Structure 1
Amino acid sequence: MEVAYLIETIIKVVVVMIVFSALAGIGTYFERKVLAFMQRRLGPMNVGPYGLLQFGADAIKLFTKEDIVPTNVVAPIFKIAPVITAATAFIAAAAIPFLPQFTIFGYTVHPIIADINVGILYILGVMGVGLYGPLLGGMASANKFSLLSAARGAAVFISYEVVTGLSILAPIMMVGSLSLIDFNEYQVENGWMVFNLYGVGFVAFILFWIAAFAETGRTPFHLIANDHEIVDGFGTEYSGMRWGLFFIGEYANMFFISFVIPLLFLGGYGDGSFLGALALLGKVAFFFFFFLWTRAAWPDVRPDQLMWLCWKVLMPIAVVNILIAAIIMI
């Protein structure tokens, strides 16, 4: 059994890495198409039918583009920073149940790499470590704009991790566990609307969702490397696949957080049936689409506005929400 478990775990790790690395590239295609549709453009059209092979062309470009390491950078740190960003995104996925368990050829497969009893804490902790990728990349670059971007990124990540942690305390108090599978089972037994008692769960859901935009560096909280700036933030000095690793990390985080939100608040995969699995994938697709939608519809806010929103609005609401949840439970 130990050998079978080891083989199964290795297979799951490889599948997650391959699938979500590919989805990161495919996600760029959908983003460009969604933005084009909302802005009355065509988007990618030349490579393959309707531009479907554009992500493959982009991948070839990144793999074959020259890897330039500027003269004055701190080379070892400069080289390892993109690896940290991509690695932490995939390491965080270890505690996420992507689908309900199923049986194939008499063997029960658990689509989660490690069902640890502190899964949520583990995910938040690893995603917090992901801050060091952009931070070290900007600090190691011989570019003041990269350094400023890294400082902005550190301020945003640290601030909104506080909101993320506080927002889920109320649901954690109700479930009494940090495992995402336990969260799913609790909602199956009590109904997925159980967290919305007196609005506590709904407030936690909205706070977590808002913080997810800052955690993934997406519009309207895209202060790390604004698209309308001439430079690419902390990634200004990067080229080729090193830049691509930053890119993969960002889109992988978007997919992973799109799994975490429905598992925490919207019933997850339900009772484990086939329809429940489809429902989970549908929820994930909606949240990923919402990331793209906001980029087309919302402008980026200023750094001072973002900090004001975090410390003077969202954090007090999160603290009050915890107190209300505690009073209800008592």
Structure 2
Amino acid sequence: MILLALLKIFLLILPLLIAVAYLTLAERKIMASIQRRKGPNVVGIYGLLQPLADGLKLFVKETILPSSASTKIFIIAPILTFFVGLLSWCVIPFGEGLVYADLNIGVLYLLSISSLGVYGIIIAGWSSNSKYAFLGALRSTAQMISYEVSIGLIIISVLLCTGSLNFSEIVLAQQTVWYFIPLFPMMIMFYISILAETNRAPFDLPEAEAELVAGYNVEYSAMGFALFFLGEYANMILMSSLTVLLFFGGWLPIFNWNFFFWIPAIIWFSLKTTLLLFGFIWVRSSFPRYRYDQLMRLGWKVFLPYSLSYIFFVSSILISFDWLPQ
């Protein structure tokens, strides 16, 4: 049993780490194409070995510990961020039965684990004993907490339609129609919220290079920086996968089109996730950064009231037509 559990963990983590590595390459290539320049094209054919070269470079570089930092906590922070980023994947189903732990409270588990990521960031900023790192950590923490509220409320709208906290059951409830059609405004708000939750442009205020250099991880180098980097990109893939599960039918084809049944579930799921990740990169290439007051205004004065009102709207429709799931 232990060997089987270890094998399942290995089969889950290894493809994730490869996906993170090549997501960085895809981002650099796509952004280069959008900006009419060449991306990485020297290391390997078409630059395909560039992520491996970058990983090796970070692995062999010297780890520098600031003399004024709280050393033990400083080292723990990136490990915690990376570990929390991997834990969230336990409940993500890639196909029917293709999940490490099919929990009945999978949504609650995911929300609780993902909220722990704030601790790694605030610990990194505080333990660095640098005003710039601490300011970046405070920005990031405030931003993540603000948009977790709207993300939670939007998920409640989906749960009202499904009647279950199990991700597999949420996907199977979309066999007739994907939820992005009846819940389209919620899907748009959710996608914008996950951009803010993962500190991605145009909401990359914690890492604003112009005024904060690199935010909470400014004092980190070598493997410490690499772990933060891996955690951030793993979180991007996680949030895109979550969007696919909640609004795009997971591994299911749209409207039960038989044409798609020959495609393996995991490939179909991965294609949807890849399209959403392309949106992350496209937005980064196209939009300028928000001001911090605009960021907070969007979260608390726009998304919060809209998501709350949509919960009342969805629940009233379900009750009026007696569509509440049993």
Following superposition, the deviation at residue 318 of structure 1 comes to 0.2
Secondary structure of the residue aligned to 1:32 is helix
- Give ranges in structure 2 of 5+ residues lacking alignment: 254-259, 320-326
Following superposition, the deviation at residue 227 of structure 1 comes to 3.8
1:259 maps to amino acid: S
Q: Give, in whole Å, the separation in 2 of the partners of 1:274 and 1:229.
A: 51
What's the counterpart of residue 105 of structure 1?
A: none
1:161 maps to amino acid: E
Question: Does structure 1 residue 192 correspond to structure 2 residue 178?
Answer: yes
1:112 maps to amino acid: V
Following superposition, the deviation at residue 13 of structure 1 comes to 1.1
Q: Give, in whole Å, the separation in 2 of the partners of 1:35 and 1:196.
A: 30
Following superposition, the deviation at residue 7 of structure 1 comes to 3.7
What's the counterpart of residue 53 of structure 1?
A: 49
1:174 maps to amino acid: C
1:291 maps to amino acid: F
Contact kept, 8 Å, 1:119 with 1:179, in 2: the verdict is: yes
What's the counterpart of residue 79 of structure 2?
A: 83
Contact kept, 8 Å, 1:270 with 1:276, in 2: the verdict is: no
2:54 maps to amino acid: D
Q: Give, in whole Å, the separation in 1 of the partners of 2:159 and 2:8.
A: 27
Counterparts of residues 89-168 of structure 1 (less than 5 Å): 89-98=85-94, 100-101=95-96, 110-168=97-155
Deviations 1:283-304 (A, max 9, x none): 1110111111111001110111
Q: Give, in whole Å, the separation in 1 of the partners of 2:264 and 2:107.
A: 21
Secondary structure of the residue aligned to 1:122 is helix
CA RMSD in angstroms, aligned pairs only: 1.6
What's the counterpart of residue 19 of structure 1?
A: 15
Identity %: 38
What's the counterpart of residue 321 of structure 1?
A: 310
Following superposition, the deviation at residue 68 of structure 1 comes to 0.9
Q: Give, in whole Å, the separation in 1 of the partners of 2:76 and 2:64.
A: 14
How many residues end up aligned between the 2 structures?
312
Secondary structure of the residue aligned to 1:192 is coil
Counterparts of residues 152-231 of structure 1 (less than 5 Å): 152-188=139-175, 190-193=176-179, 196-197=181-182, 201-229=183-211, 231=213
Contact kept, 8 Å, 1:135 with 1:154, in 2: the verdict is: yes
What's the counterpart of residue 265 of structure 1?
A: 247
The correspondence for 1:275, drawn from 243, 263, 279, is 263
Structure 1 residue runs of 4+, over 4 Å off? 271-274
Contact kept, 8 Å, 1:157 with 1:215, in 2: the verdict is: yes
What's the counterpart of residue 250 of structure 1?
A: 232
Following superposition, the deviation at residue 276 of structure 1 comes to 5.8
What's the counterpart of residue 106 of structure 1?
A: none
Secondary structure of the residue aligned to 2:205 is coil
Q: Give, in whole Å, the separation in 2 of the partners of 1:260 and 1:282.
A: 14
Deviations 1:227-252 (A, max 9, x none): 44462111111010111000000111
Secondary structure of the residue aligned to 1:117 is coil
What's the counterpart of residue 107 of structure 1?
A: none
Following superposition, the deviation at residue 49 of structure 1 comes to 1.6
- Which is worse superposed, 269-278 or 62-71? 269-278
What's the counterpart of residue 9 of structure 1?
A: 5
Counterparts of residues 23-42 of structure 1 (less than 5 Å): 23-42=19-38
Q: TM-score, normalised by structure 2?
A: 0.92
- Give ranges in structure 1 of 5+ residues lacking alignment: 102-109
2:197 maps to amino acid: E
Contact kept, 8 Å, 1:12 with 1:111, in 2: the verdict is: no
Contact kept, 8 Å, 1:73 with 1:142, in 2: the verdict is: yes
Contact kept, 8 Å, 1:33 with 1:42, in 2: the verdict is: yes
Secondary structure of the residue aligned to 1:270 is coil
